[in-house]
Structure 1
Amino acid sequence: MATLIAPIFDLPVHIQQLTNLADSRIGAEVLECSDDFFAEANRMLQFDAPIFVEDKFDNHGKWMDGWETRRKRHAGYDWAIVQLGVAGTIQALDIDTTFFTGNYPASAAVEACYAPNGDLSTATWHLILPNSKLGPGQHHIFEVSSELVFSHVRLNIFPDGGVARFKVYGEVKIQIQDRDQVLDLLALENGGRVIAYSDAHFGHPRNLINPGRGINMGDGWETKRRREPGFDWCILALGQSGSIEKIDIDTAHFKGNYPAQVSIQAIYIEDATDQQLIPQSMFWPYLLEAQDMQMDHIHSFVEEVLQHEKISHIRVNMIPDGGISRIRLWGKTAR
């Protein structure tokens, strides 16, 4: 049984820095769909790249890694309503038809609404992507121009067919009800994002803010072996500005390649462009001075955390190189 894995696809840099609001790992799910006879709709929200298993069939026919409807024999089109993992503004969409070559939709449109209470019966739907042509076996990146906050999207495919992955890229907009609640202010689900990094040869720093512990060594930030002086670094924006009470640095699965030390610098800044932060980050004060690391271990720091009234961005220094699985910044949002 042969399995093909979709090749790595590089998103445009400005989209890489956004959050996929339709990521099942942060709670996104398909609430309802017109049909998913061949392949269930929730598959298209998975994080992993789609696969194709040559000889895999089920009771409905060829098994496909995505959402696939039956061939339509009457007027109309198919649709799926997705509850986003977290509400936010939407800046780009990826409708991916990888491995759907003779069964992809002819075109697709996307609507969105804001219904924080989950009641869609009274929601106002906005067309954020007009009916647009699709092709076989490829990513379709569409930029969206809207400043509205949305909690749900509706993917309409014309007339039928299959979508391997559906991603909704944007910026998280959440309302913190309890300012005394301790949160991971850097977490993906709370709006954390990557701004820049020195190297990501083996694993991207966006993995640092993923939910849960790393599943393997590939689910972390890992740089190539450094052969010159210096150290590796990455700059991250907190989803919610605040004061930090505890820091967790997890080297799960990194055993022969964990960093010797890690330090964290931090700053609070408003209305800064990502590009201007990069050179200035070298001079930010420390939030956590260099700490020795161990293999495959959660390092927790409380007393070592240096006091800042509030921070909005951090620079993680991995000395000199290696791999980190997760970083958690536990604290309270700024008032």
Structure 2
Amino acid sequence: MLETSTVVLPDFAAGAVNLASARLGAVGIFSTDEFFAPVSRMLNDEPASFDPDLYDDNGKYMDGWESRRKRVPGHDYAIIRLAMPGRIFGFDVDTRFFTGNYPPHGSIEAAFVESGDPTDATVWTELVPKSPLGASAQHFFANADSSKVWTHLRLHIYPDGGVARLRVYGAAHFDWSKVGATEEIDLAYIFHGAKSLAWSDAHYGHPDKILSPGRGTNMGDGWETKRRRGPGHDWAIIRLGHPGVINRVLIDTHFYKGNYPDTCELLGAYLPDAGDTFSEAEISASEQWQPILTRQKMQMDAEHFYEGDQIQKVGPVTHVRIGVHPDGGVMRLRLFGTKA
């Protein structure tokens, strides 16, 4: 059984990336106990599922991290290496499907490690004090100081039990001061701070995925919309990691063979004061942004490169709008350019 949450996300999640995403590279590197279920499941991007008839050698299969019943003093904890260094806006500790085996309380600490993983000498800072947790529910905790950069988390559960998902909403930290004025860099890379902010449809895959590393692992690792049965076309608005001038564009339809877009286009705008959400009026206005790449015919399962005279010289932009006509899937979008 798979349930999609209908809980309204708090404001701190707007425009944020999940720094604890396994898909992006977050890893559970230690736990005091994972007898019933490993920490790695708690970092999965898909919503937790439950099969009432599924058991393994240690008992009931649970989609999350679960420790055994503690019969000695103390409590359990897990250490997570975040997918990327980042500033943290808030947390979602999700105990979905853990009804008689959830931890009554939890707390979260964070650390910054320049390289490698924490040691006994690592200093941990408490971000979420010991707080009540309930059965099969999402628990949101805002981080009061979102200015600091962290690389690792330590999730404590008191005294034991299970957590289905840990989501860490924040922003990737990338030191743009180390990028030279003429150095070409991917302005739309999620590890460089890029983020999708609005989209027409994400039925089969979130547009954040097109900003991810690599070429993708399968058709589920990209942005794909449902079949459009009416007029119009699908689109996504992306905030670049840094204002910049786009010189080269790559649109990759890898794995999309019967469901790739007929054509794609790219528009851009310089909006340094734009927020993390777009109003209906702002979305409507984005249709008139400056063309960077006019509509281009797509092919199935292929990389499409554009440069030189194919790219319109519109100057620095902070946001782009990729349009897919009329619908379909894109695996990756790369926007190579220089910072402004």
TM tier, shorter chain?
Answer: 0.7 to 0.9
Deviation, 1:214, is 5.4
SS at match of 1:25: coil
Instruction: In structure 2, give the amino acid aligned to 1:64.
Output: M
Deviates more, 1:116-125 or 1:28-37: 116-125
Partner of 1:225: 228
Q: Runs of 5+ in structure 1 lacking a partner?
A: none
Partner of 1:243: 245
Partner of 2:218: 215
Judged with a 3 Å threshold, the aligned counterparts in structure 2 of structure 1 residues 311 and 42 are, in CA distance, closer, same or farther, namely same
Deviation, 1:218, is 7.4
Say yes or no: does 1:164 pair with 2:164: yes
SS at match of 2:175: coil
Deviation, 1:108, is 0.7
Render the CA deviation track for 1:200-221: whole Å, top value 9, x for unaligned. Answer: 3444323322333252257423
CA–CA separation in structure 2 for the residues paired with 1:165 and 1:257: 31
Partner of 1:325: 331
Deviation, 1:67, is 1.1
SS at match of 1:42: helix
SS at match of 1:52: coil
8 Å Cα contact 2:202-2:223 kept in structure 1: no
Render the CA deviation track for 1:23-47: whole Å, top value 9, x for unaligned. Answer: 1222211222222122221221121
Partner of 1:89: 87
8 Å Cα contact 1:208-1:221 kept in structure 2: no
CA–CA separation in structure 2 for the residues paired with 1:223 and 1:5: 20
Partner of 2:110: 112
Partner of 2:125: 126
Instruction: In structure 1, give the amino acid aligned to 2:213.
Output: P
SS at match of 2:46: coil
CA–CA separation in structure 2 for the residues paired with 1:256 and 1:50: 29
Deviation, 1:5, is 2.5
- 1:286 alignment partner, one of 287, 291, 303: 291
Instruction: In structure 2, give the amino acid aligned to 1:327.
Output: L
8 Å Cα contact 1:264-1:286 kept in structure 2: yes
SS at match of 1:26: coil
The aligned runs of 1:245-284 (5 Å cut-off) are 245-273=247-275, 274-275=277-278, 277-284=282-289
The aligned runs of 1:158-197 (5 Å cut-off) are 158-176=158-176, 177-179=178-180, 182-197=184-199
Judged with a 3 Å threshold, the aligned counterparts in structure 2 of structure 1 residues 38 and 18 are, in CA distance, closer, same or farther, namely same
CA–CA separation in structure 2 for the residues paired with 1:198 and 1:24: 26
CA–CA separation in structure 2 for the residues paired with 1:97 and 1:104: 6
8 Å Cα contact 1:5-1:49 kept in structure 2: yes
Partner of 2:4: 7
Judged with a 3 Å threshold, the aligned counterparts in structure 2 of structure 1 residues 301 and 214 are, in CA distance, closer, same or farther, namely farther
CA–CA separation in structure 1 for the residues paired with 2:314 and 2:29: 42
Partner of 2:313: 307
Judged with a 3 Å threshold, the aligned counterparts in structure 2 of structure 1 residues 82 and 217 are, in CA distance, closer, same or farther, namely closer
Deviation, 1:49, is 2.3
CA–CA separation in structure 2 for the residues paired with 1:316 and 1:199: 13
Deviation, 1:80, is 1.0
Render the CA deviation track for 1:72-126: whole Å, top value 9, x for unaligned. Answer: 1122111111111111111121111122221111111111122223455454432
Deviation, 1:158, is 0.6
Say yes or no: does 1:146 pair with 2:148: no
Say yes or no: does 1:49 pair with 2:47: yes
Partner of 1:296: 301
SS at match of 2:154: strand
Task: Normalising by structure 1, report the TM-score.
Answer: 0.87
Partner of 1:20: 18
Instruction: In structure 2, give the amino acid aligned to 1:236.
Output: I
SS at match of 1:207: helix
Render the CA deviation track for 1:130-153: whole Å, top value 9, x for unaligned. Answer: 222112222222222212222211
Instruction: In structure 2, give the amino acid aligned to 1:185.
Output: L
8 Å Cα contact 2:222-2:329 kept in structure 1: no
Q: Runs of 5+ in structure 2 lacking a partner?
A: none
- Alignment identity in percent? 38
Deviates more, 1:150-159 or 1:217-226: 217-226
SS at match of 1:307: coil
RMSD: 2.5
CA–CA separation in structure 1 for the residues paired with 2:317 and 2:58: 53
Instruction: In structure 2, give the amino acid aligned to 1:240.
Output: H
Deviation, 1:16, is 5.0
Render the CA deviation track for 1:154-176: whole Å, top value 9, x for unaligned. Answer: 11101101111111011111224
Instruction: In structure 1, give the amino acid aligned to 2:71.
Output: R
Judged with a 3 Å threshold, the aligned counterparts in structure 2 of structure 1 residues 77 and 59 are, in CA distance, closer, same or farther, namely same
